[in-house]
Amino acid sequence: MTLSDPVVALKNKTGGEPVMLTLTPTAALDRIPTNGTEVFAVIEGKKVFLPSDAKYVMQDRRGLWYYSSRKPRPKEGDWTPNKTSIACRTDRGYVRALKTETVSRWLDTCQRTIRIVPGAAGARRPADD
């Protein structure tokens, strides 16, 4: 699993100094959230913990991963715009967009997230959606 560059430099419209955009983490690798429902997807054999509103994960043509709260549709060679990129903090503390090699066609990568609810006495069960 490789992760792409965290900071993107853009020129502002007046041609002055470049503007820096910083990614914030939207997911965590191998760190279970402590509050409420556990929402995750398995990507290349690793659990990727996502925000509670994530219902679908999908990969684009470039290998970047996204999540969405609604079922995405293909549009103009990509997924619909209502998606959020999955960005994780690395071991070194950098935030990187989640990118993997494309194994299957991008249209075949859309999958539901897994939702687990903690129960009494440490028991866990799948959430009822």
If you average pLDDT over residues 23-39, what whole number do you get? 73
Give the whole-angstrom CA distance, residue 114 versus residue 39: 6
Give the whole-angstrom CA distance, residue 59 versus residue 11: 28
| pTM score above 0.85 | no
Burial of 98 (0-12, 13-18, 19+ CB in 10 A): buried
If you average pLDDT over residues 7-29, what whole number do you get? 61
- pLDDT at residue 30 is higher than 80: no
**Residue, of 24 and 14, whose pLDDT is higher:** 24
Give the whole-angstrom CA distance, residue 4 versus residue 1: 10
Each residue's pLDDT tens digit, 85-96: 999 888 888 888
